Structure 1
Amino acid sequence: MKTILYARVSTADQTLAHQRTQAEAAGFKIDTVIADEGVSGVHTSLAERPQGKRLFDMLRSGDILVVRWIDRLGRNYADVCDAIREFMRRGVVIRTVINNMTFDGATKDPMQQAVRDALIAFMAATAQAQAEATKEAQRAGIEYAKAACDGRYRGRKPSYTRQQYEAVRDMLSQEVGVSEIATSVGVSRQTVYRVKHSPSEAESALALWGL
Structure 2
Amino acid sequence: MTKIGYARVSTTDQDLEVQRARLKSEGCEIIRSEKISGATLDGRQELKTIIDFLRTGDELIVTRLDRLGRDTRDVLNIIHDCEQKGALVTILDPHVSTRGEMGHVVLTVLGMVAQMERRFIKERQREGIERAKANGVYKGGKQRIDRAKVLAMHEDGTSPTEIAKTLGCSRMQVYRILSVA
Question: What range is the shorter-chain TM-score in?
Answer: 0.7 to 0.9
Q: CA RMSD in A?
A: 3.1
Which residue is equivalent to 1:28?
Answer: 26
TM-score under structure 2 length normalisation: 0.77
Per-residue CA distance 1:149-207 (angstroms, 9 max, x = gap): 18xx42233356xxx5434554565243645x24xxxxxx34x657514226999xxxx
CA distance, structure 2, for counterparts of residue 28 and residue 15 of structure 1: 19
Larger Rg, first or second structure (1 or 2) = 1
Structure 2, unaligned stretches of length 5 or more?
none
Specify whether residues 200 and 155 from structure 1 end up closer, same or farther in structure 2 by C-alpha distance, changes over 3 A only. Answer: farther
Matches within 5 A, 1:62-211: 62-104=57-99, 107=100, 113=101, 115-149=102-136, 153-159=138-144, 164-171=146-153, 173-175=157-159, 176=162, 178-179=164-165, 181-182=166-167, 189-190=168-169, 195-199=173-177
- Deviating 4+ runs (over 4 angstroms): 168-173, 192-195, 200-203
Alignment check: 8 A CA contact 1:68 1:96 kept: yes
CA distance in 2, matches of 1:80, 1:195: 24
Q: Distance in 2 between matches of 1:15 and 1:87?
A: 26
Q: Deviation at 1:130?
A: 1.0
Shift of 1:72: 2.7
Identical-residue share of aligned pairs (%):
29
Q: Which residue of 1 aligns with 2:41?
A: 45
- Looking at structure 1, the residues matched to 180 and 22 of structure 2 have their Cα atoms a distance apart, in angstroms, of 30
- Give the TM-score normalised by structure 1: 0.68
Shift of 1:33: 2.6
SS at match of 1:56: helix
